[in-house]
Structure 1
Amino acid sequence: MPLLDWIVVFGYLAVVATIGVVASRRHDRADAFFLAGRSIPSWAASFSVVATVLSAATFVGMPQQAYRGDLTYMVFKFAGLPALIVVGIFFLPAFYRSTHASIYGIVRERYGPGAGAAAGIGFLVGRLLASGARLFMAALAVSWVLFGSADAGPLAVTIAMVAVGTALYAIAGGIRAIIWTDVLQAIVAAVVGVVALIVLWNLVDRPLDDVIAMLRSGGETGRDKLRMFDTTPDPSKSFGVWSGLFGLPVFLVAAYAVDQDHVQRLLVCKTPRDGLRAGVLSNLIGWPIAFVFLAIGLLLWVETQVHGTVRVGADGDDRAVMIQFMLTELPLGIRGLMVAGLLAAAMSSLDSALNALAATTMNDLVQPWRERRGKAPLDDRTVTRWSRGSMVGWAALLAGVAFALSIWQVRSGKTLLEFALGVMTYAYAGLLGVFVVAMFTRRGSGRSVVAALVAGGLVILFTDRNFQTVLGIESAVPGLAIGWRLMLGAGLSAAITAIPGARKSPE
């Protein structure tokens, strides 16, 4: 890239670093490091949630989704509103009453330390997969920008660079630094999306009626690319209407109720009502942003039909279509701003993951382990120091997982968005079933919790189309989209958790 673009990129990184340094003050207490003393205004928390959703999966994956398909992904965004309302009414009040920085402390209170540790480990594994996928997609885009390639060597170097850069300010500033840098990064990512859409519209240079007609015709596929609601009763459609009414809301309840990475952003506010407000506001803000990035994908498809300036890879790889447009068609300075937006999307989805992984490690594994062995609880300063140390280890693990997932995604044949959402379900299925039984019944035991967590993950594994192909059973069973798979896994998990009768005390 030209010098001016690099100046814009490094200027942006300097601003992020400054915010992180300023916000890193007064973080000697564990509750300040993990929950910011519950002093964050709901509007800032909502922007942080938006920033997390605006990961590289959005920045690169949404244009690819629309380029290859249509607008049906919007059903996923719409499903978030009822899901967040359910979480705000039924889950957040209990989380706010809890004295634990990690939500899995509730499972420990109900069923004992073994069950709490199992729930924490379930989250850690799931978050490694989910955030590893986000890191891979961020590095995929940055690798194309820096090296013009996403081959194994450049991709590995880029994964390490993004992981280290994000870890530095996340470790220094805790959740407060993460929230306030996310506010900036959400704004930057949204602005560059609008700028890209405007530039692309001028590049297409066709009347609106002509563009709409092309999108309606769908080119060689003959499929209407402006379709938003797919009513066909196909259970394999990830973003069909029926999945949007039933499966996807359950998936999103899991995302915002049992995933420490997401829940933590709703717990930094003063009250549960403020947390609910932050969640609902983030979802409503996310609707137009999602539409902008999907519209970019549609216009990129139109541009390839009209001028052919932007092309997919020689092997049909359409993952780089957004990046190629950025590097070849955007004017000087704006290209640098776009790369800054890409980095914003990458960092904002990883910073809180590191904090959530550290919180769960300390609160659900280390502290209970010390307690069982009769050791004194760690003081706040030590917890904060050890948490920062664990972030280093988690950043390294995330980098390794991200590289492994880069190979998995190519072989899966799924779009980046479908792949990123799919890997999350391995932990969500078991955790959602356990939390529902733990919070709304008096049934279950420590052993049933462990069995339920394993069973939920196995349901997701055995309903994965690629795994069914390995077993040679794909023709004998119907394909299921992520929402339906999660419903099956969570339902079985809840049933197994509830098998023992009413509990009297933790085991």
Structure 2
Amino acid sequence: MGVLDWIVVALYFLVMVAIGIYAKSRIKDAADFFVAGGKIPWWLTGISHHMSGYSAAVFVGYAALAYTTGFAVYVWWALGITIACGLGAWLFAPRWPRLREQLGIISPLEYVAKRFNVPTEQVLAWSGVALKVFDVAAKWSASAILLQVFAGVPVGWGILLVGGVTMIYSTIGGVWADVLTDFGQFLIQLVAAIALAVAVMMHLDGFSTIWTMWDELPAGHADPFAGTLTVPFFLAYILISTLSYNGGTWNLAMRMISTPNGREARRSMIFSGVLYLVWPLVLFFPMWAAPILLPGLADPSQSYALLVTDLLPVGLVGLVLVGMFSHTMAMTSSDSNAIASVVVRDIIPLFRKGRSFLPAKTELLFSRFITFLFIAGSMVIALTSDSFGGVLGLLILWFGALVGPVAVPMLLGMLPWFRRSGSAAALISTALGLATFALNRWAWPAWIETLGANGQAWTVATPVIVSLVSFIVIGFIRSEEKPETDALLASIESDAPAQPSAAPAAPEPSVRGAADA
């Protein structure tokens, strides 16, 4: 990294902090801090949803998969998410802003107290918060690895640098800072990724490299499925992505909640799906070509970073680096915002008399404080990420396998087809899914190894499948149909008629009391 590269990186961090300070003027209360009062336009929500859906881990862990397996990484990851977004645009996305309009929610779990009961809300809240710490920690580790390759900065200092800047603007500006920085980061990585793609073409066969390079790559690199990225793993990932990208990952639910209505939420989800279909082709192109330019690489996870330092001039190296940082900061800042909303709106009221929400000013103060604590805690986990299997271990084996059991009752609970499934189905299905993960991790690893390439698919898929099946079956065995559940589900089936003069729905302070009753 040259001096000009460091200037680009420093300016990027300063701009991110400046956006956070600017966004602070839009924050008057916790509703503004978490969901912008439902005022974020669909196109900005779509870009933010896309940017918040992946991080620098793509340029580390997924770059390694692209180097060793080829095109299969696009089919498994990007195409799988595109399908998930298409399903979500029809099933889930429009229901999130309708829940805000009906119940005044500013946390993705607030409605769970009314749909099921308070214990279910608390189980999902506590388990989801613990799970997300690991996921965000993986993102910090990936960013730090990139900074180490680019500039020789020790991993620990890299985690503190990227995490510290994100902590500043997220704590100050809330969701408005998140979506505005997401947009700026999208533009930066657009320029950076195209620059590297063009550089790769210039060093090979020009524009024709797009189709000629496959003959020079190792056998099987053009196949849609290869290595551990098998058809069963692809199908498992579609299932997990459908749950994760439509609200099981809370920060993505928050993006939908922040849109004005169901129609706008659907448009934003479709837009995000289109971006996932097209943009990863540009991102992965240099990674696919890396075995030609960097043959016999000992550590494939460094392939993308090495391509940048080898092929790009001073200045553009820094731009590509901040482009990769942008994904991590987009995801982790929105994750922190979502976690804080759950802690402030779902967990803290449990310890207050009458389970009431905090006073408005105190709620905003706690929102910022919890955001700060969550980012700090995730950085501590990142500093010890090797204990959990490294970056890919945290991403695929821990988060990928555990997100399903937490997401199943929350997402399926919004659909009228599963109205028979009540609190018992929600709690038991979550417990069985988590137990399945524990068995895979500690009781059955030797047997799973005998499955060969499909062992990873088994590890990731079985917890969510167990949760899904048990949630449905228990609903039929122990039906908990209630008139209030039917009324809630009916109210989020379609957008309410437009009433420009009507005031926004206020939060219902009695939600927890009604749920207990």
Q: What is the TM-score normalised by the length of structure 2? A: 0.84
One-letter amino acid of the counterpart of residue 458, structure 1: A
What secondary structure is seen at the aligned counterpart in 2 of 1:53?
coil
For residues 421 and 457 of structure 1, the distance between their equivalents in structure 2, rounded to whole angstroms, comes to 15
State which of 390, 395, 400 in structure 1 corresponds to 2:375. Answer: 395
- Per the alignment, residue 374 of structure 1 pairs with 354
What are structure 1's unaligned runs of at least 5 residues? 149-153, 306-310, 411-415
SS at match of 2:221: coil
Secondary structure of the 1:331 match is coil
Tell me, what secondary structure is at the counterpart of 2:258? coil
Q: Deviations over 1:337-379 (max 9, x none)?
A: 1122122122112110110110011111012331xx3365312
Matches within 5 A, 1:242-257: 243-244=233-234, 246-255=235-244, 256-257=246-247
Name the structure 2 match of 1:431: 406
Aligned to 2:180: 180
State the AA in 1 paired with 2:479: G
For residues 49 and 463 of structure 1, the distance between their equivalents in structure 2, rounded to whole angstroms, comes to 31
CA contact (8 A) 2:42 2:267 kept: yes
| Correspondence for 1:132 | 137
- The one-letter amino acid of 2:55's match is S
Q: Which residue of 2 aligns with 1:451?
A: 428
Identity of aligned residues (%): 19
The letter for the 2-side match of 1:456 is G
Check conservation: 1:460, 1:489, Cα contact below 8 A: no
CA drift of 1:420 comes to 2.0
Of residues 342, 357, 368, the one that matches 2:324 is 342
Checking the alignment, whether the CA contact within 8 Å between 2:135 and 2:394 is kept in structure 1 is no
Contact conserved, 1:62 with 1:293, CA < 8 A, in 2?
no
Query: 267, 274, 277: which one pairs with 1:287?
Result: 277
Shift in CA distance, 121/328, structure 1 to aligned 2, threshold 3 Å: same
Match of 2:504 in 1: none
1:32-431 matches, cutoff 5 A: 32-75=32-75, 76-98=77-99, 99-147=104-152, 154-203=154-203, 205-206=204-205, 215-216=214-215, 218-219=217-218, 223-227=219-223, 229-230=224-225, 237-238=228-229, 240=231, 243-244=233-234, 246-255=235-244, 256-305=246-295, 312=297, 316-370=298-352, 373-374=353-354, 376-410=356-390, 420-431=395-406
| Mean CA deviation greater in 493-502 or 103-112 | 493-502
Q: CA deviation at 1:237?
A: 4.1
The change in CA–CA distance for 1:28 and 1:401 in structure 2 (over 3 A counts) is same
Aligned match of 1:502: 480
Shift of 1:212: 5.1
Is contact 1:63–1:295 with CA below 8 Å preserved after alignment?
A: no
What are the superposed Cα offsets for residues 14-48 of structure 1, whole Å, 9 maximum, x if unpaired?
A: 22222221111131211110001111111111111
CA gap 1:473/1:225 in 2 versus in 1, 3 angstroms:
closer
Query: How many angstroms apart in 2 are the aligned matches of 1:348 and 1:137?
Result: 14
Contact 2:24 2:172 in 1 (8 A): yes
TM-fit CA distance, 1:239: 5.3
Number of corresponding residues? 474
- Give the CA deviation at 1:283: 1.7
Q: Is the 1:40–1:269 Cα contact (8 Å) retained in structure 2? A: yes
- One-letter amino acid matched to 1:136: S
1:215–1:224 contact (8 Å) kept in structure 2: no
Q: CA deviation at 1:63?
A: 2.8
SS of match in other structure, 1:332: coil
Stretch deviating more after TM superposition (5-14 or 164-173)? 5-14
**Could you tell me how far 1:127 is from its partner in structure 2?**
1.4
- Which residue in 1 is equivalent to 2:491? none
**Superposition TM-score, scaled by structure 1 size:** 0.85
In structure 2, do the counterparts of structure 1 residues 278 and 475 end up closer, same or farther at CA, with 3 Å as the change threshold? same
User: 2 CA distance for matches of 1:214 and 1:343?
Assistant: 28
Shift of 1:476: 7.5
With over 3 angstroms needed to count, the CA separation of the structure-2 counterparts of 1:452 and 1:23, relative to structure 1, is same
Give the conservation status (yes or no) of the 8 Å contact 1:200–1:296: yes
CA separation in 1, counterparts of 2:356 and 2:112?
22
> Do the aligned partners of 2:405 and 2:434 also contact (CA within 8 Å) in 1?
yes
State the distance in 2 between where 1:483 and 1:243 align. Answer: 8
Residue 455 (structure 1) shift: 1.4
1:141 alignment partner AA: L
Contact (CA 8 Å) 2:251, 2:338: kept in 1 or not? yes
Give the Å deviation of 1:185.
0.5
Following TM superposition, by how much is the alpha carbon of 1:211 offset from its aligned partner in structure 2, in angstroms? Answer: 8.1
1:460 aligns with 2:437: yes
Deviation at 1:448, TM superposition (A): 4.4
| Counterpart residue identity of residue 201, structure 2 | W
Q: 1:192 to 1:22 in 2, by over 3 A?
A: same
State how far apart, in whole Å, the 1-side matches of 2:355 and 2:254 are: 28
Seen in structure 2, the aligned counterparts of structure 1 residues 68 and 31 have a Cα distance that, compared at 3 Å, is same
Task: Give secondary structure in 2 for the equivalent of 1:429.
Answer: helix
